[in-house]
Structure 1
Amino acid sequence: MLRIGIVLYPGFQVMNLAVSTVFEFANLALGKPAYEVALLSEHGGPVPASAGFAVHTQPFDESRFDTVLVVGDNEIIEPSPALLDFVQQAARTSRRIGATCTGAFNLAQAGILDGRRATTHWFFAAKFRHDYPNVALEEDRIFIIDGPVWTSAGMTACIDLALALVEKDFGVEVARQVARKLVVYHRRAGGQSQFSALLELAPRSDRIQTALAYAKQHLHTALSVEQLAEAAHLSPRQFSRTFRAETGQSPAKAVEHLRLEAARLMLESGRHPIDVIARETGFGDRERMRRAFLRAFGQPPQAIRRTTRGEHAQPN
């Protein structure tokens, strides 16, 4: 049985506890108790969450865990010396150590992330980069695996991290069964952006939302302003003006963001050649897509694909 220790502290963000449900349903999928989850804290007993209620925990001791995960909070609470000591010990004695959301700040302060790649909640990325320059932070990631150290982005990304742990331990089919029971994607790839292009655009009117939905369904086509305006039942001039007022950008730029998001997801799936991805997402050819990726992500499509393959190839 694999023992999972989840480290809590006063004010922790309760969403992080969703990882325990992933391990619970892995046990159900396997038909046996493959994981044993323990909630840990400095003193044990009830630990209050930021939501206002408390959960019961066991105190830190000399127990060994296969995997230790440190949760995050809403305010970057200063970790206690005992917490830092515990995670440093866990990094030496556990097979894996990780952090969800802003829990990466705790690992960084303990020195565990020095010289490693990591991610955290995008909202706190600038502070993290300032406070811990020795960590190679990649805030535009869902989760990152660097050897035995795992970190995830904010909030629900902890579920993706936990599903990836299950996949490493018991295979893709078990992780897929768990995801189905939880009614989530099998899991988002670690390299997937924390942002959704449609969420970032945040159109207010039904007409602009309809045009964007049309664009997402027809990325393989040219998608002229006239086409989008027709989908929105507006004149091209009125559509362009309304679109910019609601989203803060031009229709052409918004379509490029949708193309980039779709292309990146296809790259991470690893099932399609780059030339095919360029055609299917409307870039037309790989060179045009390469230039768009360099502008948006600072690296070409091939580099993103290599990174994703490297994460899948990480040993247990």
Structure 2
Amino acid sequence: MSVVVAVLGLDNAIGFEFMIPGQVFGMANLSDSTDRWDSSTALDAPVRGETAVPQRYEVRLCSRRQSFTTGGRWGETKIRTPFGLQAATDADIVVIPGTESFLDTPHPEVSEVLREAVGRGARVAAVCVGAFTVAAAGLLDGRRATTHWLWASELARRHPSIDVDSSVLFVDDGNTLTSAGMASGIDLCLHLIRSDAGAELAARTARRLVVPAWRNGGQSQYVEHLDPVDTSNTLQSTIEWMEANLSSPLNLKAIAEQASMSVRSLNRQFRIHVGTTPHQLLLQMRVDRARRLLESTRLPLDRVAEESGFGSQPSLRYHFSRAVGAAPQNYRSTYLDRVGRHGPSAARSHQS
């Protein structure tokens, strides 16, 4: 059976965010069924009826009046949808884009639909300031969540029971997921694909979308990628050296020596050109290495800790749990259980 993804079209919605789930999950359907096709036929063959495309995901665009107008600030557009809000109540995943009026109280029917969906076991995923809509329904109380860094303090002020983390790209807290800015909505959808169908499909989908296959949810909102944003600086070779030597006992002094600068200058240059500190980047790299090893190998946890540079299981467990939201062993078990349902190929680590 298809996984039903309902996207809520609310008045003054940010159009880009509203279209993200359809683009990502729709591309996952193509990636799931066309990886063996010639590129010249991958898109038009289903139209000609030559090859039926199995739909892993069914995307429903839902609106209270089956039509809504996007926010004028981003280019006002009227969108008509075939589904009302009630079509979201039996969905497996409900995605809530941000709106220009996110600080206003949402329509009672919206909150009721979200609560009903979660009550039935659905996952609710908010893009950017869509977290305010989910919070208004009471679904983030007592949970960890994020939103755009500019509005994180306001979310925390309005809902003090929420553990708001403004420093990450997205948070997966079981049946509620939240993400930072607009583009991190793509990361969130890829994360859902990765969790449900495995790293291989998520990687193929990302390649078709021409976006990174994986940006760790714990990655800073300020870091778009690992490359320096200023190509005139000399940090790229240092970053590559760090990646190649993750299993070594690196510290700031060693990194500074490789970069031929003082520790103070190293920290300053990383903040300017990369948007984070070398220490935080090193932790992120090590968590990513550990994640890939947990997904693709059966190495004992002490070996995973050594290969990823954490050195010991307690250190691996502490940093991995903080970044990913699950202990290493639980992550491996959940990952293997999920991808096992989709065949052995899904258990292979992505190499993109």
Residue ranges of structure 1 left out of the alignment (5+ in a row): none
Q: Residue 187 and residue 79 in structure 1: after superposition, are their counterparts in 2 closer, same or farther (change >3 A)? A: farther
Aligned match of 2:114 in 55, 77, 87? 87
Q: Could you tell me how far apart the structure 2 residues matched to 1:117 and 1:240 are?
A: 34
State the alpha-carbon separation in 2 of the partners of residues 106 and 174 from structure 1: 30
Residues 245 and 160 of structure 1: CA distance in aligned 2, closer, same or farther (over 3 Å) = closer
Matching residue of 2:20:
18
Q: How many pairs are equivalent? A: 305
Conserved 8 A contact 1:208-1:243: no
Counting only pairs closer than 5 Å after superposition, residues 280-299 of structure 1 correspond to structure 2 as 280=307, 285-286=311-312, 290=315
Q: Does 1:62 align with 2:64?
A: no
Structure 1 counterpart SS, 2:59: strand
CA distance in 2 between partners of 1:147 and 1:104 (Å): 15
Is the counterpart of residue 77 in structure 1 residue 114 in structure 2? no
Structure 1 19/110 Cα, relative in aligned 2: closer, same or farther at 3 Å? same
Q: Identify which range, 113-122 or 20-29, moves more after superposition.
A: 113-122
Select 2:287's aligned residue among 243, 264, 267.
Answer: 264
Choose 204-213 or 130-139, whichever is displaced more: 204-213
Retained in 1: the 8 A contact 2:27–2:205?
Answer: yes
Distance in 1 between residues matched to 2:330 and 2:105, nearest whole Å: 32
**Aligned mates of 2:337, 2:181 — CA distance in 1:** 22
What is the deviation of 1:196? 3.7
CA shift, 1:248, in A, is 5.8
CA distance in 1, matches of 2:225, 2:117: 40
Alignment of 1:86-235 (within 5 A): 86-93=113-120, 95-167=122-194, 169-170=196-197, 172-188=199-215, 190=217, 194=221, 196=223, 205-221=232-248
Indicate the SS of the match to 2:60: strand
Q: 1:37 aligns with which of 51, 59, 70?
A: 59
Q: How far apart in 1 are the matches of 2:334 and 2:152?
A: 21
Can you give the 5+ residue segments of structure 2 that lack an aligned partner in the other structure?
Answer: 34-52, 342-352
What is the letter of the counterpart of residue 120 of structure 1? T
Mapped to 1, the partners of 2:90 and 2:270 lie a distance apart of 48
Cα gap change, 1:3 to 1:202, in 2 (>3 Å): closer
Is the CA contact (8 Å cut-off) linking 1:38 and 1:57 kept in structure 2?
no
Q: Which moved further from structure 2: 218-227 or 46-55?
A: 218-227
2:8 corresponds to 1:7 = yes
In structure 2, distance between residues paired with 1:195 and 1:154 = 10
Secondary structure of 1:91 counterpart = helix
Q: CA deviation at 1:109?
A: 0.7
Farther off after superposition, 65-74 or 105-114? 65-74
> Contact between 1:122 and 1:140, CA under 8 Å: does it hold in 2?
yes
Deviation at 1:113, TM superposition (A): 2.0
Taking structure 2 as the reference length, what is the TM-score of the superposition? Answer: 0.65
**Scaled by the length of structure 1, what TM-score is found?**
0.71
Distance in 1, matches of 2:144 and 2:62, equals: 26
Checking the alignment, whether the CA contact within 8 Å between 2:148 and 2:180 is kept in structure 1 is: yes
